[in-house]
Amino acid sequence: MTERLRIENLYKVFSDKPAPALAMLKAGRRKSDVLEALGQVVGLDDVSLGVPSGAIYMIMGLSGSGKSTLARCINRLNEPSAGRILLDGDDICALDEPGLREVRRSRISMVFQHFALLPNRRVIENVEFGLKLRGMPAAERRRRAEEVLSIVGLARWAYHMPQELSGGMRQRVGLARALATEADVLIMDEAFSALDPLIRTEMQDELLRLQKTLNKTILFITHDFQEALRLGTRIAIMADGRLVREGTPQNIVMEPGSDYVAAFTRDVDRARLFDARSVMTALAPLWQGQGKVVMASNAGAAGFLLDAQARVLGTLDGAQVASACRGEAVPQANGQFTSVSASMRLIDVAGRCGGEHPIGVTDDDGTLIGVLDAKQVLARIGAGIGAGAQHV
């Protein structure tokens, strides 16, 4: 996957003379030290990250951790104090005024939490506004605005006034406005945070649905870890202007790495986050002969007997696998087994762990790739419940 956006050692000090503060930060002092010594606020402290093309990349952290500063640095609404921001390899920090205007107009667009709709203009005119500023001819921008309004499900509302729309619908207009520019990088700063929970979930679903066809690169800022898990292909967690953790949602929940991050993960519903693949033990072909294949994780473990077409004939216990591996006997398969797909969520897998049959894991084309241990499934679902109990 190519990288659309790369941020390298980015610093932001809110000051005309950031040099002393930068020197302190580079020497290992922190935001609070700089504030105390110099009275200057640090927004970003040595942030580096890469956003793959087509990702929904979440920036998450408590209030004041620097999320919006990061977002605003990317199109230089905030001027970075040091570092590089590469968009498809071009350094945004090195752009002159016209170059920057071009980036804001056609390559990166932003959706804010509280963005203003022009109250005395119809919805469609609001969507067209940016296109008009770009000098797009009237007929063309009207067509484009109608197109994006229908993408966000507001075609019927195009000729209504903004005050006739609900909060969620207005947020969709903001989204439509960002989509209208055809920029392939979208920065959404707390775009759904002001919505009530039901509408918010609906907008999250909508974004996931849209992303399947739009395939934009989205930098989505939120202080809500559940939202980050729900939407994110990757999550970067910030604290005091620093990036403290970065990874996939599953990876972060599994290994928070610090108390700060662990605190966010406590109430996570692991059964819905993790899939069978994340807890399975991988199987390998250990013996093969007479049209049969023995698959197990190692020579002493229980496994499966397959035919030459990779169909599962039955299960083998550890002793049978071991003796087959020693070449002693052609194994006879035992009885029953269950199988689940690798992408099945643990909440659904758990229901099948009750029986005494081994559970095989198959990939998309039905090939057996792993085996599940009921204990491990339950351990993964239950991890964090203890920590949660301390929490309350």
Q: Return residues touching ligand ATP (CB under 6 A).
A: 14, 41, 43, 61, 63-69, 223
In the structure encoding, which two tokens stand for residue 314, read together?
């039955």
Choose the one of Mg ion, ligand ATP, none that binds residue 319, judging by a C-beta under 5 to 8 angstroms depending on kind.
Answer: none
Kindly tell me which of 193 and 341 has the beta carbon lying closer to Mg ion: 193
CA–CA gap between residue 75 and residue 1 (Å, rounded):
23
Dig out the tokens for 26 from the structure.
């580079």
| Stretch near Mg ion under the rule CB under 5 A, chosen from 60-68, 144-152, 284-292, 325-333 | 60-68
Question: Binding partner of residue 50 among ligand ATP, Mg ion, none, CB under 5 to 8 Å per kind?
Answer: none
Going across the sheet that includes 234-239, the strands are 108-112, 185-189, 217-222, 56-61, 234-239, 242-247
Residue number, 60 or 316, with CB nearest to ligand ATP: 60
> Which tokens sit at 193?
């945070």
Distance CA 38, CA 204 (A): 42
Indicate the residue whose CB is closest to Mg ion.
68
Instruction: Report the residue number, 68 or 181, with the smaller CB distance to Mg ion.
Output: 68
DSSP symbol at 136: -
Q: Which does 277 bind (CB under 5 to 8 A by kind): ligand ATP, Mg ion, none?
A: none
* Separation CA 66–CA 59 (nearest Å): 9
Q: Choose between 113 and 250: whose C-beta lies nearer to ligand ATP.
A: 113
* Least distance (Å) between residue 35 CB and ligand ATP: 9
Q: What angle (nearest 5°) sits at the alpha carbon of residue 124, between those of residues 120 and 130? A: 90
63 binds, among ligand ATP, Mg ion, none (CB under 5 to 8 A by kind): ligand ATP
Q: Considering only 32-40, 62-70, 346-354, 365-373, which stretch makes contact with Mg ion by CB under 5 A?
A: 62-70
3-state secondary structure of 227: helix
Residue 362: name the closest of 278, 276, 285 by CA: 276
Q: For the stretch 378-392, what's the b/e string if a residue is b when 16 or more beta carbons lie within 10 angstroms of its beta carbon?
A: eebbeebeeeeeeee
The owner of tokens 């939490």 is 113
Closer residue to ligand ATP (CB): 14 or 310: 14
Q: Smaller CB distance to ligand ATP: residue 127 or 187?
A: 187
Site membership for Mg ion, residue 69 (CB under 5 A): no
Distances in Å between the Cα of 109 and the Cα atoms of 5, 35, 177, 287, 375 are 14, 32, 9, 56, 47
| Least Å from the CB of residue 41 to ligand ATP | 4
**41-49, 64-72, 84-92, 157-165 -> range binding Mg ion (CB under 5 A):** 64-72
Closer CB to Mg ion, 128 or 227, in the complex: 227
68 touching Mg ion, by CB under 5 A: yes
The answer to whether residue 211 forms part of the interface with Mg ion (CB under 5 A) is no
Q: Which part of the chain contacts Mg ion (CB under 5 A), choosing from 65-73, 164-172, 212-220, 300-308? A: 65-73
Which of Mg ion, ligand ATP, none is residue 170 near (CB under 5 to 8 Å by kind)?
none
Task: Name the helix (H) or strand (E) containing 262.
Answer: helix 259-265
Kindly list the residues in this chain that would bind Mg ion in the complex (CB under 5 A): 68
